[in-house]
Amino acid sequence: MCYGHDGMAALRRSVDRRSLLRGSLATLAGIGLASSGVGATAAAATGHPTGRRHVPPGLISIQLWTVRDALSGPPGYDATLAHLARIGYPRVELALGYFGRTAAQLRRFLDGIGIRASSSHDGISASPAELAQKIENAVTLGQRFLVVPYLYSENADDWKRWAEQMNVEAAAARAAGLLYGYHNHAHEFTIDLGNGRRPWDVLTGELDPRLVHLEVDLYWAVTGGINSGDGVADPEGFTLDVIRSAPQQVLQYHVKDRDGSTGDMADLGTGTIDFGRIFRKHPVLEYIVENDTPDVTPQQTAEVGYRYLRRLRF
């Protein structure tokens, strides 16, 4: 599982959407984060490049959940991030916190090694103050994206409530110049909520496409298609249908391979997913390497993933 968030805890801690929006926007204005440049940012996000035959190196990132063991144990956070910079990664997607630093301190460290924190996985906020702090940290770090990493429920009303909360958070994020997204797993495509509806249907039907984008995890989308039975014959085709049919824009990918015999995650290029087919049909603004269970070591998975995306032609 990707770096997650306790969705049920978020549901239990839900606050009134109007008070959340009022409080968060008031706090943002008070700390000077509200920005009038969001329209330009959003407009840029809609201008997907077409006809590319390779992944632009500046758009390659890595989700730090991939190297979590190296971050929390030897060689440690600083050495691991420095290693990612040496490999060539220009950006990372944050997870697991700041490892003892403030956002400002982390920004200085990342600037010093030449890596940008362009995105982060953050759960739905429990209060206006928590939302304002999350947004302030993201702005301090120079991020472009905030992404909700994980929600799970077998109740349609939970998904509707979460979508309502995310719409509120996305409005506040946009006021600060940030793009706000949701990251899928497989269960959004497999849980039966009744009447032929699945969580993906409910969520994408409720999320405001003017405010919220999608970060599609390609491994989980493929796996969801296979497990549901809808994508067994053509997993990549199922995934492309997911991308095409969503009202929201797909602006980020988690690029994670799938072992053909076991269905487990695999280092990029060692599995069965035809990423070139997907990239050719729908390029995005960020291609994020990930493997929750590195094949050998986190560091090697990071290197294999970066090399694979740099060399891929499609």
Q: How far is CA 263 from CA 134, 293, 312, in A?
A: 35, 12, 22
* d(C-alpha 201, C-alpha 207), whole Å: 10
> Taking the alpha carbons of 200, 205, 207, 209 in that order, is the dihedral positive or negative?
positive
**What is the pLDDT, as a whole number, of residue 34?**
46
pLDDT in tens, 56-71: 999 999 999 999 999 9
* d(C-alpha 186, C-alpha 150), whole Å: 11
User: Do residues 145 and 178 touch, judged by C-beta distance below 8 A?
Assistant: yes
**What is the pLDDT, as a whole number, of residue 179?**
98
**What is the pLDDT, as a whole number, of residue 23?**
54
**What is the pLDDT, as a whole number, of residue 11?**
43
| pTM attached to this predicted model | 0.88
Number of H helices, E strands in the chain: 13, 10
**Burial of 211 from C-beta contacts in 10 A (0-12 / 13-18 / 19+):** buried
* d(C-alpha 276, C-alpha 53), whole Å: 9
* Ranges of the chain with pLDDT below 70: 1-52
Angle at alpha carbon of residue 281, lines to 279 and 283, rounded to 5°? 45
**What is the pLDDT, as a whole number, of residue 20?**
53
> Taking the alpha carbons of 95, 96, 98, 99 in that order, is the dihedral positive or negative?
negative
Which tokens go with 64? Answer: 């730090």
Please state, for a pLDDT cut of 70, what percent of the chain lies above it: 83
* d(C-alpha 90, C-alpha 79), whole Å: 16
**What is the pLDDT, as a whole number, of residue 21?**
52
* d(C-alpha 203, C-alpha 192), whole Å: 13
**What is the pLDDT, as a whole number, of residue 43?**
39
User: Do residues 268 and 289 touch, judged by C-beta distance below 8 A?
Assistant: yes
